[in-house]
Amino acid sequence: MKYLRHFSIPLIILIFVKLIFISGFFAKLERGSQDGLFNIRGKQPLSDDIVIIAVDDETFNALDITWPFPREYHAKLIENLNRAGARLIVFDIEFTETTQLEQDGLLAQVAAEHQNVVFAGKIAEGRGGASHQQLYTPIAPIINHNLSWGLVNLGADIDGVMRKYALFHKLDKEPFYTIGITTLANSRNYDHQWSKQIKMDGGKLIVRDKQIPLYNQNEALINYFGPAHYFPTHSYSSILDDGTIALPGQQGVETNDFEDILAAGVLKDKIVLVGAYANDLHDYFPTPFSSKAQMPGVEIHANFLEMVLQNKYLSHLNSWLVLLLELILVFALWFVFKKLKPLWGVILLVILGVAHFIIAYQLFARAGTIAPIIQFLVLFILIYLAGLIRHYLESQKEKRFIRNAFQQYMAPELVSKLLNDPKSLKYGGSLQEVTVLFSDIRGFTTYSEKYKPEETVQILKEYLTAMVNTITANEGIVDKFMGDAIMALFGTPVKLENSALNACKTALMMREKLSELQAKWCKEGREGLEIGIGINTGSAVVGNLGSEQIFDYTAIGDNINLGARLETINTQYDTQNHIIISEFTLEKVKDQVETRYLDEVKVKGKDKPVKIYELISLK
């Protein structure tokens, strides 16, 4: 169950991230980050196969008329483009409504003579929405001449950005191909049976020798080669300006721009797209390169065609592979962040974020593969935060454990220090220098026989309470009670500047406190108690020397035994305060206390006799 909990937390985080990136703010943020890759990569070389004829502001000034233009102008455009050697002429201009029969017929007739023109149709939604779509084909003369045409519908993502290109739309289960696909089917030679050049093959739409990977069911991702107005462009009016037609806006000015274009050969063997550039025609759309400097619709078609001609497609990283990578990373990072300190976790988080972005960019720039960016970063951050919360909860649990274990027999100040540095409390034993203080009541068994148990317990409670308060006030800990005896340690688990001095101060204060209690008991008609104290300083094994079930923080070793021995031999010497310290303790406090030499004693564990001293007072 414990291991299941460890695995469930990162799994829940992964599921949460997947859900919030399905749609909404985070999905928009993800798409925006992927759009940024286009700007970082910058402009890409063009194939020199595509030229755009722009119906721009210059055209409106030159022709001095409103939109739509007379169709004789479009017929003239077709004538001149063919004179310039255009391989294929593609209109991103809809001729779905009839005008003058003569002009409609002229446009269709000229296109039929040259057999290299692709016209535009569209699908419009009726009053019932997407379920009531209506097809608008080019005008009847164009259809009657069996000329090629395609849909010009562009579909934006929910944020309005054009990232995908529709390859076909279905009406009554019949596919109607978009202008880009129609252009590709006719790009080598004009074919009235061009639709036979198209077929589906699994996740690809095959047009002649081009295999276009599908995104969703009928779309392809657009690999934009540059920002708006990147493709070679000529003004619509400059193609008409061949000297045989008077441009109303250029009266009195002899230009003949078309002759210069013809001489330069810039349209020879090119796929020429004709479309709106003027702002008033409202055919501009946001693209990954920029949502502000929007791109003309005709140039979106041009980018799609350029992508297919160069076989530089885009695709998203396989979703199952993404999920596998996320699973591996989420579990790996969960266990890594558990081990790292928060600061190192932040450093690792930054390194991961930078490394992931570099990898995502390289996949995009070199392989045309789009990988999630923000999704992975959010996943990294949430895993780190979850690890941080886990660190916090575990530290609080550790602090509660320490507080519960020590607050009963350690000064609050020491407990606070221990909580600030829990590592000073090591599980298992470690060799430390400590000072041990043993105190014991003389003749307590005989004393207890003179009083009722309730009175004996009350006196003992008063005594022990006063002694414990004195010990903790001097930054010592009560290791244990052994009946009426007390074992106290100084210098552990928090190291003291001079544990021996603290122990000596404690012993003298214990004597003072005992004197106060004796005076109190005397007034109450009770006999007083007498105690003996032994103090020794040295190395001992200190730590959690209990079991897994019972925590017992204590100290063991010869130096602890020597402290107990000094307390026991108090009765053998006539001393003022009944406090005996060893030479090892005296060495630590000789400049700060008054002592009197007593004797040398032989104790177990020591090869040489140990000098002992009576502790009289502080200097």
Q: What is the pLDDT of residues 61-115, one digit of tens each?
A: 989 899 999 999 999 999 999 999 999 999 999 999 999 999 999 999 999 999 9
pLDDT tens profile 583-610: 999 999 999 999 999 999 887 767 789 9
Q: Give the pLDDT of residue 76.
A: 95
Distance CA 597, CA 614 (A): 6
Amino acid (1-letter code) at residue 275? G
Strands (DSSP E) contained in 5-147 are 50-55, 88-94, 117-126, 129-136
Q: What is the CATH number of the domain that holds 567?
A: 3.30.70.1230
- My answer on whether 243 and 368 are in the same domain is no
The pLDDT value recorded for residue 430 is 80
**How far lies 428's CA from each of 330, 341, 447, 543, in Å?**
34, 23, 39, 5
Concatenated DSSP letters for 250-311?
GTT----HHHHHHHHTTTTT-EEEEEE-SGGG--EEEETTEEEEEEEHHHHHHHHHHHHHHT
Both 62 and 87 in one domain: the answer is yes
Residue 491 phi/psi, 5-degree rounding, is 95, 10
Task: Quickly tell me which residue has 């005594």 as its tokens.
Answer: 463
Structure token pair of residue 505: 């101060």
Each residue's pLDDT tens digit, 241-270? 887 877 777 665 667 888 899 999 999 999
Say how many residues make up the chain: 619
Residue 231: give the domain boundaries.
Answer: 45-311
- 370 and 433 in a single domain? The answer is no
**Domain assignment of residue 82, yes or no:** yes
pLDDT band at 525 (very low <50, low <70, confident <90, very high): confident
159 band by pLDDT with thresholds 50, 70 and 90: confident
Percent of the chain with pLDDT over 90: 58
Query: Does the pTM exceed 0.85?
Result: no
- Pair 599, 458 in one domain: yes
Least confident of 158-162, 289-293, 299-303, 356-360: 289-293
* Beta bridge pairs of residue 599: 612
Alpha-carbon gap, residue 511 to 530, rounded angstroms: 9
In this structure, is residue 157 part of a structural domain?
yes
Residues facing 147 on adjacent strands: none
In a domain, 549, yes or no: yes
Judgement on whether residues 248 and 356 belong to the same structural domain of the protein:
no
For residue 300, tell me if it sits in a domain.
yes
**What does the pLDDT average to over 523-541?**
90
Task: Please compute the mean of the pLDDT values over residues 558-581 and round it to a whole number.
Answer: 91
Q: Are residues 206 and 306 in the same domain?
A: yes
Residue 177 inside a domain? The answer is yes
Q: Are residues 70 and 219 in the same domain?
A: yes
Helices (H), 84-187: 101-114, 140-144, 179-185
Question: With contact defined as beta carbons under 8 Å apart, do 107 and 206 qualify?
Answer: no
- Indicate the residue among 311, 340, 356 that finishes a domain: 311
338 and 458 co-located in one domain: no
Looking at 311, 336, 359, the residue that finishes a domain is: 311
The closest of 102, 48, 76 to 274, measured between CA atoms, is 76
Domain boundary among 292, 311, 330: 311
Same domain for 303 and 330, yes or no, is: no
List, for residues 187-228, the tens digit of each pLDDT value: 888 888 888 889 998 889 999 999 999 998 899 999 999 999
pLDDT at 345: 86
Does 32 fall in a domain?
A: no
Residues 572 and 433 in one domain: yes
Tell me whether residue 191 is in a domain: yes
b/e map 529-557, b = 16+ CB within 10 Å = bbbbbbbbbbebbbbbeeeeeeeebbbeb
Task: Assess if residue 159 is contained within a domain.
Answer: yes
Domain count within the chain: 3
Question: Which three-class secondary structure state does DSSP give residue 491?
Answer: coil
Q: Do 302 and 328 fall into the same domain? A: no
In a shared domain, residues 119 and 254: yes
